[in-house]
Structure 1
Amino acid sequence: MSRSIHPTFTRNGSTASSHSIESAYTKALLRSLQFQGVQFLRYVTLDPYNNIRARVVPISQVLKKKHISLHNQCSIAEICLGGLASYADVMVEGTGLTARNVLAVVADPETLRVLPYNTKSAVILGNLHDQYTDEVSPFCSRSRLAMLVQDAAEQHNVAFSVGVELEFCLVRNTDGKFVDNSVYANTTTLNEQEEFLSCLYEQCQQQDLAIELIHSESAGGQIEVVLEYSHNPVHCCDAIVLTKETIQAVAHRFGMKALFLPKFDMMKAGNGMHLHMSIRDAATGEPIFCEGNGLSEQGAAFVEGILQHLPAITGLTLPTVNSHRRIGKGCWTGTVVGWAVEDKETGIRVCSNLLTKEWDHVECKLVDNSANPYLAVGALLWSGLSGVIANYKLRPSLLTIPEDEAPPLPKTLGEALDVLEADSTLTETFLGEKVSQAYLAVRRHELDRSSRMTLEEEVRDALA
C-alpha cells in the first residue's frame, strides 16, 4: 500500500466520563469560583482571521441546569467564525457560508483560568462542533492543529516542540505617542516600564503562562516577550492568545495601548511573532532535529518541507497588507525562499543552541501578530511533516549561493493569497476546501479595503 507524502486528519476520539461524576466535579469547581468572587465564564474561540469571539455565561445560570457541565453552554453562528471581515460585522460574499448554521462551543477544561485583570471573570477556550452531529467544525483552527499533532505522533512517530516571541510597542493613551524613543536591547524601556513589566509577569504567572525572556526591541517602547518553549503546540498557541489579552489589559491599566501592528514606521523593523520549531521522536521524546553539530536527515527534511510551501504559507502567516510592509531587506525578515544557520536576515533560520552548539531548532521570522496562531503554527508544522514523510533533501544554504538564485517571496498580500490558492496540497489537506474558500474570500475582501489605506491610517486605525 502506498503512503501519502502529506499528513491527513482523523477525528480525535475520547471516552466520556459518567455524567453524574462530571456534573458533581463541575459543580464543585464552579462553587469554588463563586466563592472567590468569580461571576462569569468567558467562552473564547478564535476565528481564522485572528479575531477573538467570546460569549459570557453567568456561573449561576450553569448551576441551575439539571446536568451541570462546562460544555455546550453557548454557540456562535458559523458565519461569524468564517465569513466576517476583521474590521466590521460584514458578511463577505464568496465565502460559501450563510447565516443558517450554528456551532456549539465545547469547552476545554484544561484552559480554565481566572482573569487577574478582570477578577469577576474566568476564561475558558473552546473547540467548535456542529450543533447537530457533534463533529468538529472545519472552522475550529484549534482542533485542526490538535488533530495534526495527534496524527503526526500516531501515524509518523513525530512530535513537535514550539516556542514564540511576541513583539509589541507601548503607546500612551493621552497623546498617542510611543512611550520612549529607544533602540534595540536598551535599558530605557526596561527602567521606565518596570512596573508594567512586573505586573505583566505576575499576571501571566497567575495564569500559568510561562515567560522565558523579556527585552526591549529596536523601536521606541518596543518590547519582546518570549514564551516558554513547549512540547504541546496547541498549548503554545493557547498561551499566545491569553498572553496577548493580558498584555493589552495590563497596558490599559497603566494608561497605555499595546500596539501589535506589524509595521508602524517605515524606518523601524516592526512587530513580528517569530515561531521556533523542532521535532522529537513521539515514542521516546528524544530530539531528532539535529545530529551532532548539524541537521539530522529528518531535521533537514523538515526544513525543506517548510521551504517547499513557504510562499503559500505567507498567505496565512503574513495575512494583511500591513504584514507585507514589514518584509524587506534590512527588516530582519528575509525576502527569498531559503535557509541559513544563525542569519537573522533569513526568513527560515536554523538556530544553534547556546550551550550545546547543536543546530537544535528552526525559526520562522515570516509571521506576525495578525495571523491566527493555530493556523500559522499548523501550516508550518504540516509542511515540515510533509517533508519528513517524503524524506526531502535540503537545498543548499543561502550562505553558499547568491541570493538572486533563490526564489523570491510574495511581495504583496495579493501575491501571497494567489500562491496560497495555487498550493492545492496545503489548502486541501491542511485547511480543507470549506475553510480555504472562506479564508481567501475574506482576506481578499480585506485586501481591497486595506490597499487604499496609508501606513498612517493603518496606525491610527490600530490605536483607535
Structure 2
Amino acid sequence: MKNWLRKHPEVRTIRVAAADLNGQARGKRIPARFAEKVAIEGTRFPMSVLNLDIWGEDIDDSPLLFESGDADGVLRPTERGFVPMPWLEAPTALLPIWMYRENGQPYEGDPRHALARVVRRYAEKGLTPVVATELEFFLIDDSGKTLQVPPSPRSGKRRKAAEILSIRALDAFDAFFTDLYEACEEMDIPADTAISEAGLGQFEINLMHGDDALKAADDAWLFKMLVKGLARRHGFAASFMAKPYADYAGTGLHTHFSVQDSEGRNIFSNGGPEGSEALHQAIAGCLAAMPDSTLLFAPHANSYDRLVPGNHAPTGICWAYENRTAAIRVPSGSSGARRIEHRVAGGDVNPYLMLAAILGAALIGMEDGLTPPPPITGNAYAMPLPQIPDNWDSAIRAFEGSPTIARIFPRELIRNLVQTKRQERHYMAELSPEEQVEVYLDTV
C-alpha cells in the first residue's frame, strides 16, 4: 500500500469506506498526507454505521446505539489496497476497509466478514469457489419529472424501446463505455462483455470468473460505485435498482459459480453434460434455501416489482439445464466448465450478502447430501412450482426464522438486517411509488 501511494503522488485525497448492510459505502475523506497512517493503523467509527437504513438513518431501538453507548469498531484495510476513483474530478483513491471489534475479532455485523466466514468453511474442506457475476444497470435521464432514456451523445436522440443485444444502443453511448472500461482497468475490475438488455436504456457487463469470492464481491461493489459515479460525469444517471420502469424488465445480478478441489479440479464436472453428484447437491442446497434467503436477493420494496411471472426474472423455485426461465440454470458448454447460474438476485443487492447466501446454501447442500427435484423443461412460469416470496414482509419473516440462514450468517447480522428492513418497510409505506423510485435511484 505504501508503494501504491508513492507511485501515485498526484492523489490529493483518499476515501476509506466499508459496505453497510445495504451495500452503501460508509466512511471518511482524508487528506493524502495522512493516507499512509490510516493504511497502517486503520481508523474507527461506530459499529452502528454498518447498520443504517437506506436513508442513512440510525435503526430505532438497535442495541448498537444507546444500549451499548454507540461503541466504535476498528476499521482495517482489506487486502484490496488502494484503488483509484476515476469518476471524481480531483485525483482520489479509495481504501476499502472492514470492521473488527476492539479485541481483534471480526465484527459479526459486517457483510464482508459474513462472506469471508463462508469462504473459510469451503477452505476447511479443501474447496475453493470460483465465481463470476453479471451486472445489469440502467442509464437514465432523471432531470425531469419522469425517468426516461438519456439522449444519445452521438445523435441527440432518445431510443424509447428495448434494444436487446443492439450494437447501435452500445455505440450510442460509446464514450461512456470507453471511459468505463478504462476505469475498470485502473481499478482492477475484470470487466468483460457488454451487451444491451431488455429494458429501456438497460445494459449488462460481465465480470470475469476468479477463484477469490471476496474479490468477486469487491469487484461488484466497486463496479456499482464506478458506474453510478461515471454516469454523472457524462451528464446522466446510472442505477442498479430492480425495477425503475413498470412496463419493462428489471435489473438482475446473476451469479455463476463452480467449486474446485485442492488439486484445482472442478468438482461439478463428471465429464458429461449432466454434471456430478456435487453439482446436484449444491443445486439442492440453493433451492432449499431460496425462500429463506430471498430477502438478500430482493432486499428493497422495489425489488418485488421485478419478481413477476414472464418478465425475465424467476418466480418458481426450480432448476434446469440451459433454461433461463428457471431460478437455477446449468449452462451448456464444455464439461470442465460445468457450473451453476443463480438467477434470482436483483441488481440492487449487497454483493457480499448475496454471494454468502448462494455459496453458503450450496455448501449446505453438499454437506447434507441433499437431492434436488428433477430438472424442469419448458416454461417455468407456466408450471405449478413452489414460489419465491413475492413480497417484502414474507421475505423478512422467512429470513428471520430460518434455521438454514442461521447456519450461514452470524446471529448479530441476522438481527441487524431484520431490524433495518422492518424500519425501511415502515417508512417506505408512507411514500408514493414515485418517491420510492427517487430514494432507490441513486442509493442501490
TM-score, structure 1 normalization: 0.86
Provide the residue aligned with 2:50 in structure 1.
Answer: 81
- Tell me which moved more, 251-260 or 403-412: 403-412
Q: Please give the alpha-carbon distance, in whole angstroms, between the structure 2 residues aligned to 1:347 and 1:451.
A: 29
Deviation at 1:416, TM superposition (A): 0.8
Partner of 2:155: none
Aligned-pair Cα RMSD in Å: 2.2
Alignment of 1:248-267 (within 5 A): 248-267=228-247
Secondary structure of residue in 1 paired with 2:206: strand
Does the alignment pair 1:314 with 2:289? no
Task: Give per-residue Cα distances to partners, 1:91-116, cap 9 Å, x unaligned.
Answer: 32355654521111100253321222
Give the C-alpha shift of residue 193 in structure 1.
Answer: 0.4
Corresponding residue to 1:399 among 346, 361, 377: 377
User: Per-residue deviation at 1:120?
Assistant: 2.3
> How far apart in 1 are the matches of 2:114 and 2:441?
32
CA distance in 2, matches of 1:263, 1:29: 39
1:445 and 2:423 aligned: yes
Q: Which residue is equivalent to 1:126? A: 97
Q: Is the 8 A contact 2:289 2:404 kept in 1?
A: no
Other-structure match for 1:190: 170
Deviations 1:52-71 (A, max 9, x none): 112122231355xxxx5614
Q: CA deviation at 1:452?
A: 4.2
Q: 1:299-356: per-residue Cα shift (whole Å, max 9, x none)?
A: 1101101111110111111111111110011112221211111211111111112xx2
Structure 1 Cα separation of the partners of residues 418 and 63 of structure 2: 8
Q: 1:192 to 1:199 in 2, by over 3 A?
A: same
SS of the equivalent of 1:182 reads: coil
- Which residue of the other structure, out of 426, 431, 443, is the alignment partner of 2:409? 431
Tell me whether 1:293 sits opposite 2:273 in the alignment: yes
- My pick for the range that moved more, 410-419 or 99-108, is 99-108
Equivalent pair of 1:352/1:358 in contact (CA under 8 Å): no
Counterpart among 371, 379, 386 of residue 357 in structure 2: 379
Partners in 1 of 2:19 and 2:367 — Cα distance?
30
Partner residue of 1:201 out of 162, 165, 181: 181
Q: Which residue of 1 aligns with 2:436?
A: 458
Which of the numbers 234, 239, 260 marks the counterpart of 1:280? Answer: 260
- Any unmatched runs of 5+ in structure 1? 1-24
Letter in 2 for 1:161: V
CA contact (8 A) 2:59 2:423 kept: no
**Change beyond 3 A, Cα 1:246–1:62:** closer
Work out the CA distance in 2 between the residues paired with 1:163 and 1:362: 10
Match of 1:181 in 2: 160
Q: Which residue type is aligned with residue 391 of structure 2?
A: T
Does the CA-based 8 Å contact 1:295-1:359 persist in structure 2?
A: no
SS in 2 for 1:240: helix
Q: Give the whole-Å Cα distance in 2 for the aligned partners of 1:261 and 1:234.
A: 23
Q: Which amino acid aligns with 2:114?
A: R
Instruction: Tell me, yes or no, if the aligned pair for 2:64 and 2:71 is still in contact at 8 Å.
Output: no
Residue identity matched to 2:401? A
Partner of 1:151: 121
What is the rounded CA distance, in whole Å, between the counterparts of 2:319 and 2:432 in structure 1? Answer: 32
| Separation in structure 1 between the aligned mates of residue 136 and residue 353 of structure 2, nearest angstrom | 19
The number of residue pairs the alignment matches comes to 426
Counterpart residue type for residue 192 of structure 1: A
State the secondary structure of the residue aligned to 2:435: helix
Rounded Cα–Cα distance in structure 2 between residues aligned with 1:451 and 1:280: 45
Q: 1:61 aligns with which of 25, 30, 34?
A: 34
Give the conservation status (yes or no) of the 8 Å contact 1:96–1:434. no
Residues 101-137 of structure 1, C-alpha deviations (whole Å, 9 max, x = no match): 111110025332122233521111112111x211110
Any conservation in 1 of the 2:328–2:343 contact (CA below 8 Å)?
yes
Aligned partners of 2:361 and 2:408 also within 8 Å: no
Which position in structure 1 is the counterpart of 2:108? 138
Separation in structure 1 between the aligned mates of residue 220 and residue 400 of structure 2, nearest angstrom: 27
Q: Shift in Å at residue 144 of structure 1?
A: 2.2
Structure 1 residue aligned with 2:348, among 370, 375, 379?
Answer: 370
Please state whether the residue corresponding to 1:398 is helix, strand or coil: coil
Alpha-carbon spacing, 1:383–1:463, altered in 2? closer, same or farther (3 Å)? closer
The DSSP-based 3-state class of the residue aligned with 2:259 is strand
Alignment deviations for residues 185-237 of structure 1 (CA, whole Å, 9 cap, x no partner):
12332121011111111111111111111000112211111111121110001
1:104 paired to 2:104:
no
1:388 to 366, 374, 380: 366
Amino acid at match of 1:290: S
TM-score, structure 2 as length reference: 0.90
Separation of aligned partners in 2, 1:401 and 1:268: 19
Matches of 2:79 and 2:282 in 1, distance apart? 33
2:7 is the counterpart of 1:32: yes
Report the alpha carbon displacement of residue 240 of structure 1 after superposing the two structures with TM: 0.7
In the TM superposition, what is the alpha-carbon distance from 1:406 to its structure 2 partner? 2.7
SS in structure 2 at match of 1:444: helix
When residues 407 and 463 of structure 1 are mapped into structure 2, their CA distance, relative to the original with a 3 A threshold, is: closer
What are the ranges of 5 or more consecutive residues in structure 2 without an aligned counterpart? 151-158
3-state SS of paired residue (2:109) = coil
Q: Do residues 419 (structure 1) and 389 (structure 2) align?
A: no
Q: Could you say if the C-alpha distance between residues 362 and 455 of structure 1 is closer, same or farther in structure 2, counting changes exceeding 3 Å?
A: farther
* Partner Cα separation in structure 1 for residue 13 and residue 407 of structure 2: 38
Q: Is the 8 A contact 2:266 2:336 kept in 1?
A: no
Q: Indicate which of 133, 155, 169 corresponds to 2:138.
A: 169
Question: For residues 379-406 of structure 1, what are the alpha-carbon distances to aligned partners after superposition, in whole Å with 9 as ceiling and x for unaligned?
Answer: 1101100111111122111228996543
